[in-house]
């Protein structure tokens, strides 16, 4: 219908329309008692404004930069740690190297005492003068007994006396006139009682080293530091370059893996990674290839299943409609598009209600009879899905019509069977009380009539039932139709009605079942006599035989009451009787049986009728190809005019 938009168009229009920012919920068409209270509607629940959340920007840094920076940081940390460990050691070593000459003084003095342990001030004075140091003999309390000793480290003297071992100590002067100089002190404990008459004494040598003596060591330390810095810078450069190269090689392999993964995500399942290095990244590439192969097979199988499911849905005679959470159409098979485009807006609304109700109740919902316009009845079955709902629409118009026809058939058959049975029952009761022999004979004759009527009705019902079940065997043979018409006229001679036969020349025999065809034509001829005024009437009945368009037409024409135009389509329904049929007895099953037999013979019945002018019933049977090709050309004769006009 052009004035009614299809459900699909309504759904698409709803999807394209701007939606409010609230939350929509379905208000069901039921009240608290479970009774329907309208069509239902949607309403909106407006949410509170969302709180502002600060988003942190995370810049993307390549793995090359990360690995290069990591190499540099490791190199700097290693260099600083090494320098912090080595620098103090180098300083101590250089300072010891600067004070080495003074330490040799003590060692040389000890060497002289070993071969000749005799000690005298003359020997000590001569040794000190030869070495350029001050000397003195010092007690444990720090008093100088003899010698030219000036400044010295008294702690060294006390330590040497207390431990009875020689000691040497060098320490810088940080303040005073000798600032930045180094005082070196050597103390060796001796038994000076023979020399000075004192106990707990020590021979002490002392000397100041000037700045020039220390600068040499500091210069050496500075040169070493500079060389260490230069070596560290060179190592840092080499480490950075090596880190960049290693990161570049590693990142290139990862970039290849990333590119392959992106292509795989875009649907290229033939993407593969080749690598010659069998490390962790190579193992990852092999795993990626196996995953891509599995995905390709799974996707191919999924596509096949999807195509199979799509073919099944497209080939279904039922309409299938899929919707999302907002009842927007996501799937319509061809039958659904056709059905919805030709249905009314009221049906669209009812369909939406059924879908919404299935989502609301969480279970299947069935609408057995929904009117879709044009007297069509649609059965709607809806079921909820996780992200929407699914509805199956089935056109049950014909099914409902058949069900009604069956119900009417049972009711009419019961009525038709009860009529003769009640009559027989009544006659039997009357026979018990009737004593007059003539009256009893009349009752018995009427009972025979009702019995024959009952037998005919049962036989007709049985024949119809057997035809419906395809239990009737049709024996096909060549039948001369003109001879069959003359046989019919002889069979109905008892009716006393004139029967005229109009047969076209050279009508070939037809391959059909002669018994069933004779029965069909007998039904039509019997009706023609009944509805033309009954037996013995003045108006004749015409039998016409001709061929047309590869078919043979056998027509029965009467001049009776006729059939109203609006009832012609129903006269082949079982137990249906048109207006004016009350003039003759009948059950309304004759034409239904004739129509069923004609269809099983591969033919059909055509009807043409006008009220108060008569009717023409034509049995149309197909000719074989040889007989059909031999059909003569030319204008049809008067017998053909008999099928289309009433005189």
Most confident of 38-42, 239-243, 393-397: 393-397
- Six-digit token pair at 251? 């990142």
pLDDT in tens, 538-595: 789 999 999 888 899 999 999 888 888 888 888 887 777 665 555 555 667 788 888 8
pLDDT, greater one: 198 or 24: 198
Residue 212 pLDDT level (bands cut at 50, 70, 90): low
Does the global pTM surpass 0.85? no
| Tokens (6 digits) for 520 | 């069909």
Confidence of residue 621 (pLDDT cuts 50, 70, 90): very high
> Per-residue pLDDT for 634 more than 60?
no
* Contact between 569 and 616 (Cβ < 8 Å): no
Q: Could you tell me where the beta strands, DSSP code E, fall in 173-247?
A: 182-190, 201-209
**What average pLDDT is seen over the chain?**
75
Residue 500: pLDDT band (50, 70, 90) is: very high
pLDDT at 641: 33
Distance between CA atoms of residues 337 and 395, nearest Å: 14
Quote the pLDDT of residue 554. 94
The region of weakest confidence among 133-142, 251-260, 556-565 is 251-260
Would you list the DSSP string of 257-281? HHHHHHHHHTT-TT-----S--SHH
Q: What is the pLDDT of residue 21?
A: 45
Per-residue pLDDT at 485: 92
The pLDDT assigned to 213 comes to 58
Percentage of residues in the chain with pLDDT exceeding 70?
Answer: 74
Average pLDDT (288-310) is 83
Range from 9-18, 75-84, 554-563 carrying the lowest mean pLDDT = 9-18
Give me the pLDDT at residue 55, please.
Answer: 44
Quote the pLDDT of residue 581: 54
pLDDT given at position 478 = 92
7 to each of 125, 195, 268, 387, how far by Cα in Å? 127, 131, 37, 19
| Percentage of the chain lying above the pLDDT 90 cut | 8
Q: Is a pLDDT exceeding 60 seen at residue 430?
A: yes
> Which residues does 395 contact at the CB level (< 8 Å), separation at least 6?
339, 376, 377, 378
pLDDT at 260: 81
Instruction: Read off the pLDDT band of 416 (50, 70, 90).
Output: low
Dist. CA 244–CA 635, nearest whole Å: 103
Q: Hey, is 374 helix, strand or coil?
A: coil
User: Tokens standing for 7?
Assistant: 């459900």
* Bridge partner residues of 618 (DSSP): 555, 606
Comparison of pLDDT for 263 and 457, the residue scoring more = 263
Of the candidates 331, 379, 392, 385, the residue with the CA atom closest to the CA atom of residue 362? 385
Confidence of residue 218 (pLDDT cuts 50, 70, 90): low
Q: Which of 420, 458, 427, 457 is nearest to 445 (CA)?
A: 427
Q: Are 175 and 189 in contact (CB under 8 A)?
A: no
pLDDT > 70? residue 8: no
Higher pLDDT, 252 or 297: 297
Of the two residues 9 and 475, the one the predictor is more confident about is 475
Is residue 614 over pLDDT 60?
yes
How many Cβ atoms from other residues are within 10 Å of residue 353's Cβ? 24
pLDDT at 64: 61
Q: Are 131 and 205 in contact (CB under 8 A)?
A: yes
pLDDT of residue 620: 93
Q: Give me the mean pLDDT over the 328-336 stretch.
A: 86
259 compared with 489, residue with greater pLDDT? 489
Asked whether the beta carbons of 200 and 139 are under 8 A apart, the reply is yes
On whether the CB atoms of residues 124 and 147 are closer than 8 A, the answer is yes
Give the bridge partners for 146, in sequence order. 137
The lowest-confidence range among 124-128, 360-364, 546-550 is 124-128
Average pLDDT estimate for 212-229: 67
598 vs 431: CA distance, rounded Å: 44
pLDDT at 10 over 70: no
State the pLDDT at residue 151: 82
How sure is the predictor about 214, in pLDDT bands with cuts at 50, 70 and 90?
A: low
One DSSP character per residue, 474-530 reads P--EEE-HHHHHHHHHHHTGGGT--EEEEE-TTPPPEEE-HHHHHHHHHHHHHHHHH
Of 190-204, 267-281, 283-297, 347-361, where does the model show the most confidence? Answer: 347-361
Average pLDDT over residues 442-468: 76
Q: Which two tokens stand for residue 636?
A: 């049809």
3-state secondary structure of 406: helix
Query: Region 501-506: what's the mean pLDDT?
Result: 89
- Which range, of 88-92, 195-199, 262-266, 290-294, averages the lowest pLDDT? 195-199
| Amino acid 557: pLDDT | 92
Mean pLDDT throughout 3-24? 47
Give residue for tokens 């996501």: 330
- Give the confidence band of 193 by pLDDT, cuts at 50, 70, 90: low
Indicate the angle between helix axes 211-265 and 280-315, nearest 10 degrees.
Answer: 20
């Amino acid at each position: 219908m052009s004035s009614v938009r299809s459900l699909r168009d309504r759904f698409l229009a709803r999807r394209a329309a701007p939606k409010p920012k609230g939350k929509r919920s379905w208000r069901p068409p039921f009240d608290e008692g479970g009774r329907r209270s309208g069509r239902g509607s949607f309403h909106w629940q407006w949410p509170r404004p969302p709180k502002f959340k600060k988003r942190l920007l995370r810049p993307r840094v390549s793995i090359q930069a990360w690995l290069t920076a990591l190499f540099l940081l490791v190199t700097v940390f290693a260099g600083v740690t090494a320098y912090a460990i080595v620098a103090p050691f180098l300083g101590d070593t250089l300072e010891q190297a600067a004070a080495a000459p003074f330490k040799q003084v003590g060692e040389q003095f000890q060497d002289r005492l070993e071969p000749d342990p005799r000690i005298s001030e003359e020997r000590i004075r001569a040794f000190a003068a030869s070495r350029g140091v001050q000397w003195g003999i010092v007690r444990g309390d720090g008093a100088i007994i003899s010698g030219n000793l000036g400044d010295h480290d008294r702690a060294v003297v006390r330590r040497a006396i207390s431990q009875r071992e020689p000691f040497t100590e060098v320490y810088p002067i940080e303040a005073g006139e000798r600032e930045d100089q180094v005082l070196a002190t050597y103390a060796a404990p001796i038994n000076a009682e023979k020399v000075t008459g004192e106990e707990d004494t020590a021979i002490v040598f002392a000397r100041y080293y000037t700045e020039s003596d220390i600068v040499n060591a500091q210069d050496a330390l500075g040169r070493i530091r500079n060389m260490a810095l230069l070596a560290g810078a060179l190592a840092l450069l080499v480490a950075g370059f090596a880190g960049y190269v290693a990161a570049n090689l590693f990142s290139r392999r990862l970039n290849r893996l990333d590119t392959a993964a992106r292509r795989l995500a875009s649907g290229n399942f033939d993407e593969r990674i080749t690598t010659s290095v069998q490390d962790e990244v190579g193992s990852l590439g092999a795993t990626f290839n196996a995953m891509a192969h599995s995905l390709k097979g799974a996707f191919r199988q999924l596509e096949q299943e999807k195509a199979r499911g799509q073919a099944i849905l497209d080939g279904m005679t039922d309409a299938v409609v899929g919707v999302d959470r907002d009842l927007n159409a996501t799937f319509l098979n061809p039958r659904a598009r056709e059905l919805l485009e030709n249905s009314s807006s009221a049906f669209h609304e009812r369909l939406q209600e059924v879908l919404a109700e299935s989502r609301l109740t969480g279970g299947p919902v069935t609408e057995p009879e929904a009117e879709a316009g044009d007297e069509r009845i649609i059965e709607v079955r809806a079921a909820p899905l996780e992200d929407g709902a699914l509805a199956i629409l089935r056109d049950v118009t014909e099914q409902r019509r058949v069900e009604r026809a069956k119900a009417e058939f049972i009711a009419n058959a019961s009525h038709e069977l009860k009529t003769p049975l009640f009559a027989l029952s009544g006659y039997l009761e009357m026979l018990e009380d009737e004593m007059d022999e003539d009256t009893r004979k009349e009752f018995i004759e009427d009972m025979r009539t009702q019995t024959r009527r009952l037998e005919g009705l049962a036989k007709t019902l049985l024949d119809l039932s057997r035809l419906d079940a395809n239990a009737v065997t049709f024996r096909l043979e060549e039948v001369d139709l003109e001879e069959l018409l003359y046989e019919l006229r002889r069979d109905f001679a008892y009716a006393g009605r004139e029967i005229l036969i109009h047969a076209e020349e050279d009508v070939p025999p037809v391959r059909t079942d002669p018994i069933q065809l004779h029965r069909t034509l007998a039904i039509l001829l019997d009706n023609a006599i009944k509805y033309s005024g009954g037996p013995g009437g003045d108006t004749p009945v015409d039998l016409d035989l001709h061929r047309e368009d590869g078919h043979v037409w056998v027509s029965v024409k009467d001049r009776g009451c006729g059939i109203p135009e609006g009832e012609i389509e129903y006269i082949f329904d079982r137990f249906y009787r048109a207006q004016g049929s009350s003039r003759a007895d009948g059950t309304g099953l004759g034409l239904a049986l004739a129509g069923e037999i004609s269809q099983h013979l591969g033919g059909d019945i055509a009807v043409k009728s006008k009220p108060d002018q008569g009717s023409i019933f034509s049995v149309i049977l197909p000719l074989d190809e040889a007989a059909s090709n031999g059909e003569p050309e030319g204008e049809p004769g008067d017998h053909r005019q008999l099928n289309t006009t009433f005189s």
